[in-house]
Structure 1
Amino acid sequence: MRPEIAVLDIQGQFRVYTEFYRADAAEKTIILVNGSLATTASFAQTVRNLHPQFNVVLYDQPYAGKSKPHNIIDRPLTKETEGQILLELIDHFNAEHIMSFSWGGAPTLVALAHRPKRIEKAVISSFSPVINEPMRDYLQRGQQHLGAFDRYEVGTLINSTIGKHLPSLFKRFNYRHVSSLDLHEYAQMHHHINHVMEATTHKQLKAAKRINVPVLFMNGEWDEYTSAVDARLFKNHVRDCHFSTIKNAGHFLDMEHKSACLDSRNALLSFLTPAPEPSRNRYRQVHANHAFAI
């Protein structure tokens, strides 16, 4: 399963690395939005859950992954800018669905609030509109370590908090990735954290009211940082709201163990795939005036 790779020009401002997993029988395309500091590699399992039922699009933000060599990043990107990039990619790939993970929920909400015409459904995973106490502690420690560009502490913090339910192998990969990033990527995450700390629940929910497509909020049962309970605050603000709690799973959902992976896949496909219409029995007359179903 090899993707079609392209580096796209976004309004002459950014160059964005993309991977397009085409499926000949798929009728819909879904675009996946990374969390902070993540790259296309983070969605490897999610691609397997969605392909070949859907065409799947992955991309790296201009400051991250394989987009980095094509951009000069002189200041952090705002969630509004990331939302505009997402809108451009939706148009380019003619995507009908969006799925985000963690921080990727922020620019996804921005994009959805613009009511892109092609989008039919969205999935927002591991995201909530509030900063609870565990999240506040995580963010405050993150501010300290990122401000000091302390690679060891940043990697250790992520694995001991939001990543604590990951298998040990994934934790090693996670630590290796996070502790080897460029300084501007730490500055970008520091900017993300500052924005989250300054944002209010009221502002998040007010923007959500403009969304006019069905949205599934998917959270892990064990995720104390973006909890399923907190995510349900969206129910009075998003017009067509759905919720799924993945049992025995933390923040990283389908990456944590097989059962959580299967449950995540089932939740995604049941939401994104229309239920088949009930079949109607049709009858035809035979010589003895008996009827039977075809």
Structure 2
Amino acid sequence: MRPETAVVHVHEHYNVHTEFYPSPAARKTIILVNGSLATTSSFAQTVKYLQPQFNVVLYDQPYAGQSKPHNHHRQPISKEDEAQILLELIEHFRVDYLMSFSWGGVAALLALAQRPARIEKAVIGSFSPLLNEPMLDYLGKGVGYLHSIDRQGIGQLVNETIGKHLPSLFKRYNYRHISTLDEHEYRQMHAHIHKVVNLDSHCQLECLAGIDIPLLFVNGDNDEYTTATDARLFAHYLNDCHFATIDNTGHFLDMEHKRAWLQMQHTLIGFLQAGRTSYQHRLAFGAESQAMAG
């Protein structure tokens, strides 16, 4: 089903391209938050398993994708601005659930810390509170390429690091997309990296105590950049968080192979549709079963 598209004016200064995928039987709506340098097309695989169950909202940041023609690009947008944009889209589309991917987790958690009344649950994919050595190495190389606007260098770097487990077709698409961005998009990412290399501004852990809904953190077990082990550190800052690991999968989760797609489908829909108590019971039973099998 083709989405309903619209440009929504938000946060006083920005115009955001949105895509609304309606589902006739759906009673709930979920909004998806892109990672850096990504557009709505990055969620093509995710929409396929979410839309039968939910209405799905996608959007491009003001500096990216189909939002670009509708905005000025005089200076980079802060993650606080991205969080406010997200909060206003939540109200506009009457959203119930939220899902973010990779660096989209920063804006998502900042928005959730403001306790938007509509949001019942959230899923944070491929994100952790720790910048480990592989991630710092990736960011360090990336900032050099971004500063010099080395388009080929940036495209190759992404495919050789966080994207190394992608199928070859997706790697070609990834390279073509990343190496043909506008200069202001590289400046945006360059400004973001300068902030995230500091842990406090990476995901502002002190604000997480304000989040009062169930969160599910999903990571690939082959992702060395945002590891499942590191993601579990969020348990020290959040009262109601759960964790899932997608088998034989790297940073890009459901884009990497069919089994990952199916496991993501089962994991996300199970979490979003289950009651709080029943999902906690299922997780506990799964952990007990794994211990017995081991």
TM-score by length of 2: 0.92
1:122 and 2:122 correspond: yes
When the two chains are superposed, the root-mean-square deviation of aligned CA atoms in Å is: 1.6
Q: Given the superposition, is the C-alpha separation of residues 85 and 203 from structure 1 closer, same or farther in structure 2, using an over 3 Å criterion?
A: closer
In structure 1, distance between residues paired with 2:34 and 2:201: 22
Determine the structure 2 residue equivalent to 1:238: 238
Which moves more between the two structures, 191-200 or 82-91? 191-200
Rounded to whole Å, the distance in 1 between the matches of 2:233 and 2:177 is: 33
Secondary structure at the counterpart of residue 100 of structure 2: strand
Contact residue 232 and residue 243 of structure 2 kept, 8 A: yes
CA distance in 2 between partners of 1:26 and 1:196 (Å): 37
Supply the AA of the counterpart residue of 2:121: K
Partner of 2:207: 207
What whole-Å deviation, never above 9, does each CA across 1:60-96 have from its counterpart, x for those lacking one? 0000000000000111111100000000000000000
Partner residue, 1:282: none
State the shift of 1:205 in Å.
2.2
Question: How is 1:80-159 mapped onto 2 (pairs within 5 angstroms)?
Answer: 80-159=80-159
Give, in angstroms, the shift of residue 49 of structure 1.
1.4
Give the Å deviation of 1:275. 5.4
- How many residue pairs match? The answer is 278
Letter in 1 for 2:257: H
- Per-residue CA deviations over 1:121-146 (Å, capped at 9, x if unaligned) read 00000000111000000000001100
Secondary structure at 1:24 match in 2? coil
Aligned to 1:14: 14
* Matched-pair contact (CA < 8 Å) for 2:40–2:59: yes
CA contact (8 A) 1:114 1:210 kept: yes
Q: Structure 2 vs 1, CA of residues 182 and 202 (structure 1 numbering), >3 Å: closer, same or farther?
A: closer
| Structure 2: gaps (5+ residues) | 279-294
- The normalised TM-score by structure 1 is 0.92
State the partner residue of 2:167.
167
Secondary structure of 1:129's counterpart equals coil
Please give the per-residue CA displacement for 1:222-274, whole angstroms capped at 9, x wherever unaligned.
00000000000001211110000001000000000000111111110010012
Q: Give the distance between the partners of 1:34 and 1:203, measured in 2 at CA.
A: 16
* Displacement of 1:207: 1.5
Runs of 4+ in 1 over 4 A off after TM superposition: 275-278
Residue type at the aligned position of 1:106? V
State the shift of 1:153 in Å. Answer: 0.3
CA shift for structure 1 position 208 = 1.3
The structure carrying a bigger helix percent of its residues is 2
| 2:189 aligned residue | 189
Distance 1:114 1:27 in 2: 24
Show the counterpart of 2:260. 260
CA distance in 1, matches of 2:161, 2:188: 20
Task: Report if the CA contact (8 A) 1:254-1:264 is conserved.
Answer: yes
Partner of 1:32: 32
Decide whether aligned partners of structure 1 residues 147 and 212 sit closer, same or farther in structure 2, where only a CA change above 3 A counts: same
Deviation at 1:11, TM superposition (A): 3.7
Task: Verify the 8 A CA contact 2:3 2:20 in the aligned structure 1.
Answer: yes
**Cα 1:198–1:176, aligned 2, differ >3 Å: closer, same or farther?**
same
Q: How many angstroms apart in 2 are the aligned matches of 1:190 and 1:21?
A: 32
What is the alpha-carbon distance in structure 2 between the residues aligned to residue 266 and residue 175 of structure 1?
A: 30
Mark the CA change 1:82 to 1:11 in structure 2 (over 3 Å): closer, same or farther.
closer
Equivalent position of 2:74 in the other structure: 74
Structure possessing the higher radius of gyration over alpha carbons: 1
Contact residue 19 and residue 58 of structure 1 kept, 8 A: yes
| Offset of residue 42 of structure 1 | 0.2
